[in-house]
A and B are shown apart, each in its own frame.
Chain A
């Protein structure tokens, strides 16, 4: 009898053993995205980026298997995001946190990353300050000042514009974009002739576009979140028939995202935008990426996808350097200064601020074949987050 029990115990132990070993060989990444609700499309494109990367590069690194645990935050809900992050850490025992479509969610989870010493990769949220909230965080998307300040300077020095009118959505990122563009525009010698802010929930843009048209400024700078609104704004501009010879339209990448260009048609011609990525970029890496992405998801990637794609790349490369050690300190040490060639061009993680460093492209909408696309015609290389640089100087 005793022997039987001993045998049973041994069997149980033996069957438990491989499990334990296996658990050590998996690396769990908790991914927080707004997969449902109003921002679902952005999150879906991010998720597609993650999946595409793992298809191209396999699902194991440094001899360990990568497991993704997806959670839906549902919208700008920092309380939910924080709870889910806590649960991922204490219940699912994830090794790192990633994703983050929206700024408030990233800010809330940063606390968890700092407290639990977990590596955190911000794959989209673009407000500059996020990166300061946890010492274990890197960002692989873009920051608003990085693009907008660069663009503001460019518009005066190379674009030859002197007087600008701004139209932004009335919320945090909109205010930041407005401030960044305007301050750089003024510093370079231009002047701001007026500004208007759209309400966040704004079904019809006619009034705002009409107002801008009546003022007939030399240029209009637009910042608007991705989703349904760029297309609606584009249509309102098309209807009004703003004379583009008189008034130059400037914007961030969202303004001329693929769906918005489709909705605007020929009226989008000659809109100038500054951005870090477009699916039409002409390099071998990007072509392979777009091809694989289309094969898997039946559509083109966008800047949400590339942020997540490069986020996965950063995680893979960091794990290679740490040889699979997922400790927060080890990870962040290895991630600092990481450099790689991305479908968007050369990019790196600033070793001091941990923020993204990349080229900013100036593009013009042109007709290529039957489609209207963003064609880059100028490039500002290796741009750091200017707000991060200022914070650094303040510290010194």
Chain B
């Protein structure tokens, strides 16, 4: 029966808890995501925002984002990259951008543990600027001030069609206003939206 339950949206297979209550990330808050697919989680979040997206990254990080890889998610022209020297500078830029509110989504890559003060400052500036923040954190380096924390990991799907994107498991591991849970999702390149998939092997 595996092939039947391959790809169905939430309407057919309601899972508990409800994904839509947590997933389009709550606006005016700062969220966190970790795991191997954190960058693609960020790209999914950026795809649903209007206006520019600013991505703050330390300059010494190996590798680069590939705009052609972002193309299935959103137009790379709306992305601004801020290359910063260290995390302090990155936090300052993120605070500035969040408080300004011109960019609805601010993505910040974190390399060191973030304290409560820094997390709280980001939350306050997100509230002031009515914009959403998303920190890409290494495992276990989040701040307690985060509104929610996600873990995004890829999953091998033996039944996927050739053009399908990677099946991913989004696990909500911290949530200030709701319950935790996990969902299997897949990005649909054609319709540019996230599809909820029932777990394989069920």
Q: Do A and B bind each other?
A: no
